[in-house]
């Protein structure tokens, strides 16, 4: 049987969609994967999934990620974090503790982060020993988070800088049946940065991170192309928000987040029902499922 992988994109508050999809998977007892890969908020969502903790990611996003302790523009203007990733991880564990035995005795959990020394993606297995730093590193938004998490001889920033959708890495690792949860509708393509020179100027201390940001849209769109045109020996299944998905990266309104979450639940259920032969996708619903 082909190795099966699950990839979950990040996207800040847009991660509420993946939270809904994964909760639907838990409700349907759907976990056929040999390994999972998460980026930024996608890794946090996967933690709740592997811990078999329904609604955990929903509560983290709607209660904690909307808090001023996490997102605080005034603090940022005063020289602090715009988003305090470490606080979010620690407070999530305090308010919504998980069973680490379930997490680390399921399937390999891979997170992606961008190495600040070379601007390239590193893919590391999340373990009991490195989980705090690993989850902090994958979500450490450049400039918005002032610390640079370091572990295992590397220092990192957000994984979405170098590889937002690690579908090609999953294929490289042997996966031939890949499910991808995206945070944008499938019609989305990332536009080229309008001021690449500014990116480089803002990252004088870490020039390779600035260079990676100038190439981010190219890498992102190449991943989308891989999804839409996979190798002949690979099947890629895609779960995406609908075109009217109302959540943006910094959406804080609970009614919009609730709507986005429910869209994820609905799409997650349809995906499982489709695999069971209980629902047939129309071509316009999901051309790559």
pLDDT in tens, 5-48: 999 999 999 999 999 999 999 999 999 999 999 999 999 999 99
Domains of the chain: which residue ranges? Answer: 3-276
**Catalytic position from the list 40, 57, 164, 259:** 40
What average pLDDT does range 169-183 have in this prediction?
Answer: 97
DSSP element (H, E) containing 181: strand 175-181
Q: 40 an active-site residue?
A: yes
Beta bridge partners of 237: 179
Is 158 part of the annotated catalytic residue set? yes
> If you average pLDDT over every residue of the chain, what do you get?
92
**For residue 56, what are the contacts with CB-CB under 8 A and spacing of at least 6?**
48, 92, 96, 98
Please tell me which residue in 23, 84, 122, 158 is annotated as part of the active site: 158
- For 62-113, write each residue's pLDDT tens digit: 999 999 999 999 999 999 999 999 999 999 999 999 999 999 998 999 999 9
For 179-237, the pLDDT digits (tens) are 999 999 989 999 987 765 556 666 767 788 988 998 999 999 999 999 999 999 999 99
pLDDT, residue 1, reads: 45
Whole-angstrom distance, CA of residue 65 vs CA of residue 236: 31
Q: Which residues contact 281 (CB under 8 A, 6 or more apart)?
A: 270, 274, 289
- Using pLDDT thresholds of 50, 70 and 90, give the confidence band for residue 280: low
Q: Class of 3-276 per CATH? A: alpha beta
């Amino acid at each position: 049987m082909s190795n099966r992988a699950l990839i979950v994109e990040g996207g800040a508050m847009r991660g509420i969609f993946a939270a809904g999809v994964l909760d639907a998977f838990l409700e349907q007892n759907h976990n056929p994967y040999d390994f999972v890969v998460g980026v930024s908020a996608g890794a946090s969502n996967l933690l709740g999934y592997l811990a078999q903790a329904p609604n955990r990611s929903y509560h983290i996003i709607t209660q904690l990620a909307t808090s001023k302790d996490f997102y605080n523009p005034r603090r940022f203007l005063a020289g602090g974090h715009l988003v305090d990733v470490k606080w979010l991880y620690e407070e999530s564990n305090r308010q919504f503790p998980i069973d680490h035995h379930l997490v680390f005795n399921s399937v390999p959990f891979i997170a992606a982060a961008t190495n600040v020394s070379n601007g390239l993606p590193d893919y590391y297995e999340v373990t009991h020993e490195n989980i705090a730093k690993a989850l902090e590193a994958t979500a450490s938004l450049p400039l918005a988070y002032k610390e640079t998490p370091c572990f295992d001889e590397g220092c990192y920033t957000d994984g979405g800088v170098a590889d937002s959708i690690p579908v090609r890495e999953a294929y490289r690792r042997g996966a031939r049946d890949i499910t991808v949860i995206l945070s944008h509708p499938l019609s989305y393509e990332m536009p080229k940065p309008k001021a690449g020179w500014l990116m480089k100027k803002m990252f004088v201390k870490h020039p390779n991170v600035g260079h990676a940001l100038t190439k981010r849209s190219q890498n992102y769109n190449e991943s989308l192309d891989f999804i839409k045109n996979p190798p002949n020996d690979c099947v890629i299944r895609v779960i995406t928000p609908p075109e009217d998905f109302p959540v943006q990266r910094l959406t804080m309104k609970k009614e919009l987040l609730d709507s986005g979450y429910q869209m994820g639940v609905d799409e997650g259920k349809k995906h499982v029902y489709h695999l069971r032969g209980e629902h047939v996708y129309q071509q316009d619903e999901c051309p790559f499922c």
